[in-house]
Structure 1
Amino acid sequence: MSLQDQYRSKRITAREAARMVKSGDWIEYGFCLAAPRAFDAALAERCDDLTDVHIRAGVSVYPSLAFESDPTGERFTWNSWHFSGLDRRYASQGSAFYIPMRFRELPRYVLENQPTDVFVTQAAPMDRYGFFNFGVSNSHHYGLIARAKKIIIEVNEHFPRVHGGHGHGIHIDQVDHIIEGDNLPLAELPPASVSDVDKAIATQVLAKMHDGDCVQLGIGGMPNALGRMIAESDLKDLGGHTEMIADSFVDMFQAGRMNGLRKAIDRGRIAFTFALGTKRLYDFLDENPFVASYPVDYTNATEVAGSIDNLVTINNAVEVDLFGQVCAESSGTRQISGTGGQLDFVIAAYRSKGGRSFICLSSTYRDKAGNIKSRILPTITPGGIITDTRATTMYVVTEYGMFNCKGQSTWQRAEGLIGIAHPQFREELISKAEAMGIWRRSNKR
């Protein structure tokens, strides 16, 4: 049978695909931008026919019509590997839940721990060799392909074809059904606005960077600011090895700052596992030999990323305590985002020869009542999740300075972290440090 004959024999409508779902099934949507659109809409139409259907997704960018068709949560339960703003909204309704994970381990979770009845993901149209390219999302898809009882591809002509790496596509022989989707444009996440605080923090990090460094950037205003500043700097021969690729990498490449020529692995290429940005980024990824899509257990493996000399990782935090513990994913018990790959890259950077890890946060924020609160705290807010343990934290950076926690005792950490807190809160923090027994009498005030 020819490839086209196979394609025709496996082609079904979204409604036909949704009719295959049974009560009690576990459905996995493609990660982030790869989540299905036509299938989800068809599943919503079946709301009254189903009960106890579990949907797993991650970094949701498209509203789920299926989930939103069931406001009571009796039909569909939403489970997310990493919260976006949309996932937070769903969680506030009471029937959406976070799945704790270390991102590099996710393929193993779906291979060993989580049943999957249906895996449905968007992909680029089949090529002449019979492959569907996952484009903007590789993540843990190979594990789902190995484990899922049914594999459904929803074709989207807007998906870029992205080089690998590996795990960046699936052959028609492994596909059970094909939906010719609605070909909707990919969701876009414009670069975050950059504040004066972001610029102040990014300036300090930039001063610690050198020619030939390999860069990982998290999401947010500060990493975006740093990417722009690197593009405008005189740094050269930078590499890229990251979890999420964003528009800032396009800036660095097009400015001639990033060529990857000094990397020990994936030389001359940016390795990444998923993308989220603007159409400019998606166009940049299309058929570009400079980028390489890999599963997350490659990009985020500490032994892989850590084998790259001079790995520089830059990530955000919600709060840091005087022991050097980092909470980057919750506000008390309220889940904001997720562990993701932050811990992976914090560890990898220190494993790297010449590597540096930066946890960046503004010194303060305003609460709902407009009161100024410190992000440097005596201890993490009760219920807050420790994303990076105190033993793994390296540089912590605010607009007031930078402190390297590595090798520092508890009193040195207290002194150093108070020194980069907002001046308004330093005396209070000293008092709390004294009460906790981590302040030397000879310490500076």
Structure 2
Amino acid sequence: MKKQIKYVSAAEAVRVIKSGDHVHLSSVASAPQCLIQAMCDRGRNHELKDVHIHHLHTEGPAPYADPEFEGVFQLDSFFVGGNVRKVTQSGYADYIPVFLSETQKLYRSGVLPCNVAMIQVSEPDAHGYVSLGTSVDATLAAVECAEHVIAVINKYVPRSFGDAFIHVDDIDIFVQDDKPLEEAHFSVPNEIETAIGKNCAALIEDGACLQMGIGAIPNAVLAQLGNHKDLGIHTEMFADGVLPLVESGVINGRNKAIDKGKMVSTFLMGSQKVYDFIDNNPGVAMMDVGYTNDPFIIAKNPKVTAINSALQVDLTGQICADSLGTKFYSGVGGQIDFIYGASRSEGGKAILAMPSVTNKGVSKIASTLTLGAGVVTTRAHAHWFVTEYGAVNLYGKSLQERARLIISVAHPDHQEELDKAAFERYGAHHTYIKATTQTK
């Protein structure tokens, strides 16, 4: 029997927030914009101070991070999305370095308090359950631990399965706001991204279980998989690029050892087509991030192939993927979770991919990482490294061998200078690079 829900306005709902509280926002498309605006209105009226905001990547406006709210709201995010990148780089917001798999643990262990969880959910079903839709990730843990749970009931939130269901009895305050979810659209891969996609696709075997990070390169890889067979998905997120492969039968999960036949994810980021795809779809399991990103669970599937992006790599194989110098770009995310899991999967492959140069022609392969760069993937974790010039396997290679291999997939205009740097550091000559390059 359905519980009779009493709705209040967003302005009334956020009255439970007190100065000094820690507030969690559901992620990506599910960021509850009406509650965010109401909370910021209270901030502008000088009713709050020292409120800490936590979330993963979110789509849409993030006004609480604006400089006008200095001393009122402090954003300490678990992942830095494009909407808060500039303010984070400027010092008006901050970042908590944490593996994506452990974001839920911050709440469940009590390391971070959660006074208020502000979430967006589907309409309740006949049994009183709502779905977290596109954002389970650390949001489920926040709901479990929060003193107050405020939920926006929105008819546009898809009814997803897996760990996404919570009962209305676990929600304290209800707001209704039927607005379409924020969409994320990705550009068509350019020539370099397409070349990287082809090089990565050549490493993916039939029956592989895929994890793809966020961005143009993962989409470029997916675009090259039309002739593959029996692929599976176990990932932290997916977007529109998987849909054609599901429709054609390329992605079917038949070779998975766990969650066989199901696509497993913890949050979504894409167009309305993606949200429609997961709605009432038992073939998609939206799971707690402690499950999706647990390396030991990941490794239970055979041929796990994890493809992630990077900002910079040095000649030893250290991978920078979150910050360069004083510029902060994203976060640790799920990269290490899946690299560690894929490397322990039977027949698995851990792949880091990036263009060899920046848009300004600066080499992204460096003799040493930029001062202040964040090492997300250590040289001990690095296996396959891919650019538009090829793919090399660094696993089991000495420092000199790694330097030769990495230089072999650098932009030709930069190979000589990198070779000189390698020789000065290791005595590693460029002259026999081709003989040691591995492409599969």
Distance in 1 of aligned mates of 2:301 and 2:213: 18
User: Of 394, 409, 415, which aligns to 2:404?
Assistant: 415
Could you tell me which residue of structure 2 aligns to residue 195 of structure 1? 190
Alpha carbons of structure 1 residues 301 and 438: separation in structure 2 relative to 1, 3 Å: farther
Secondary structure, aligned partner of 2:158: coil
> What secondary structure is seen at the aligned counterpart in 2 of 1:71?
helix
Q: Note if contact 1:238-1:259 (Cα within 8 Å) is conserved in structure 2.
A: yes
Are the equivalent residues in 2 in contact too, given 1:270–1:290 (CA < 8 A)?
Answer: yes
Give the gaps of 5 or more residues in structure 1.
none
What is the Cα deviation at residue 72 of structure 1?
4.9
* Aligned counterpart, 1:157: 155
Contact 1:107 1:143 in 2 (8 A): yes
Q: Does 1:316 align with 2:309?
A: yes
Say whether residues 1:34 and 2:52 are aligned partners: no
Q: Are the structure 2 counterparts of residues 291 and 280 from structure 1 closer, same or farther at C-alpha, using a change threshold of 3 Å?
A: same
- Asked if structure 2 preserves the Cα contact closer than 8 Å seen for 1:79 and 1:96, the reply is yes
Find the counterpart in structure 2 of residue 404 from structure 1.
393
Paired letter, 1:158: Y
Q: Which amino acid aligns with 1:311?
A: V
Once residues 67 and 332 of structure 1 are traced to their aligned partners in structure 2, the CA distance between those partners, rounded to angstroms, is: 22
CA–CA separation in structure 1 for the residues paired with 2:291 and 2:430: 47
Q: In the alignment, what sits opposite 1:284?
A: 277
Alignment partner of 1:387: what SS? strand
**What's the secondary structure of 1:426's corresponding residue?**
helix
1:78 corresponds to = 75
- In the alignment, structure 1 residue 105 sits paired with structure 2 residue 94: no
Alignment coverage as a number of residue pairs: 431
CA-CA distance at 1:74 after TM superposition: 2.0
1:220 partnered with 2:215: yes
Q: Compute the displacement of 1:57 (Å).
A: 1.7
CA contact 1:302–1:348 (8 Å) conserved in 2:
yes
1:346-425 aligned within 5 A: 346-367=339-360, 372-425=361-414
Note if 1:267 corresponds to 2:260: yes
For residue 358 of structure 2, give the secondary structure of its aligned residue in structure 1. strand
Q: Which residue of 2 aligns with 1:45?
A: 41
Residue type at the aligned position of 1:397: V
CA contact (8 A) 1:273 1:294 kept: yes
Q: CA RMSD in A?
A: 1.6
Among 242, 246, 264, the residue aligned to 1:253: 246
- For the Cα contact (< 8 Å) 1:45–1:66, is it kept in 2? no
Distance 1:442 1:206, change over 3 A: closer
Q: TM-score, normalised by structure 1?
A: 0.93
Letter aligned with residue 413 of structure 2: Q
Provide Cα deviations, 1:4-40, integer angstroms capped at 9, x if missing partner.
33x23xx322111122211111111112222211111
Instruction: Give the corresponding residue for 1:90.
Output: 87
Q: Deviations over 1:44-73 (max 9, x none)?
A: 2211211111111221212134444x6151
Q: 1:14: which partner in 2? A: 10
Aligned amino acid, residue 51 of structure 2: V
Amino acid at match of 1:105: E
Give the aligned residue type for 2:222.
G
- Cα distance between partner residues in 2 of 1:111 and 1:22: 21
What is the CA-CA distance between 1:440 and the residue it aligns to? 5.5
Q: Quote the Cα distance in structure 2 between the aligned partners of 1:173 and 1:187.
A: 27
Deviations 1:219-264 (A, max 9, x none): 1112111112213x2x111111111111111121012211111110
> Aligned with 1:104: secondary structure?
helix
Q: Which residues in structure 2 correspond to 1:203-218 (within 5 Å)? A: 203-218=198-213
In structure 2, the partner of 1:120 is: 118
Amino acid corresponding to residue 259 of structure 2 in structure 1 = D
d(CA) in 2 for partners of 1:300, 1:395: 20
* Structure 2 stretches lacking a partner, 5+ long: 435-440
